[in-house]
Structure 1
Amino acid sequence: MSFHRVNQAWGVELRHTEKIVLLALSHHAVMSTGESSPKVSRLARDCGMSESAVRESIKALEAAGHVESTPVRRGVTNYRVKVGQAA
């Protein structure tokens, strides 16, 4: 869990759906790398959103450069939160 990344995520100006997903991803992220692998179903439950809304928010966060996602294997995706990180 990375409180630093969560605090940085609060400072990013986003729509409410993207903000809550970014906060959830930041909460699950490892401090040193910003990486996490929560399932979309877990993020949906944490955020009080549908799985499709979470997927759309992740796509928007990727397009904005706040998150990178890498499929690891079937059903598992690795997310890297890029807020609070030197470019």
Structure 2
Amino acid sequence: MSSHRVNQAWSIELRHTEKIVLLALSHHAVMSTGESSPKISRLARDCGMSESAVRDSIKSLEAAGHIVVMPIRRGVTQFRVKAGGGE
């Protein structure tokens, strides 16, 4: 868990759906790398959102440069949170 990244995510102006997904990804992130790999179903449960809403938020966050999406293998995706990481 990266409290620093969570705190930085709070300061970014986003729509509520993107903000909660960024906060959840930041919560799961390793502090040194910003990397996390929670499943979409876990993010949906954590955020109180549908899986499709989480996917849409992830696309928006990636397009805005707040995260990097890195498919690892079928069914496994790693996310790198850039908010507050200095990247």
TM-score when scaled to structure 2?
0.98
Alignment-mate amino acid for residue 49 of structure 2 = M
Which residue of the partner structure matches residue 59 of structure 2? 59
Q: Cα RMSD between the aligned structures?
A: 0.5
Counterpart for residue 78 of structure 1: 78
- Residues 6-58 of structure 1, C-alpha deviation per residue, up to 9 Å, x if partnerless? 00000000000000000000000000000000000000000000000000000
Misfit runs of 4+, over 6 Å: none
Is 1:5–2:12 an aligned residue pair?
Answer: no
Give the percent of matched residue pairs that are identical in Structure 1 and Structure 2: 80
Task: Give, in whole Å, the separation in 2 of the partners of 1:41 and 1:64.
Answer: 23
Structure 2: any 5+ residue segments left out of the alignment?
Answer: none
Q: Which amino acid aligns with 1:2?
A: S
> Deviation at 1:83?
0.6
* Map 1:27-46 → 2, pairs under 5 A: 27-46=27-46
Deviation at 1:85, TM superposition (A): 1.9
Give the letter for the 1:53 counterpart: A
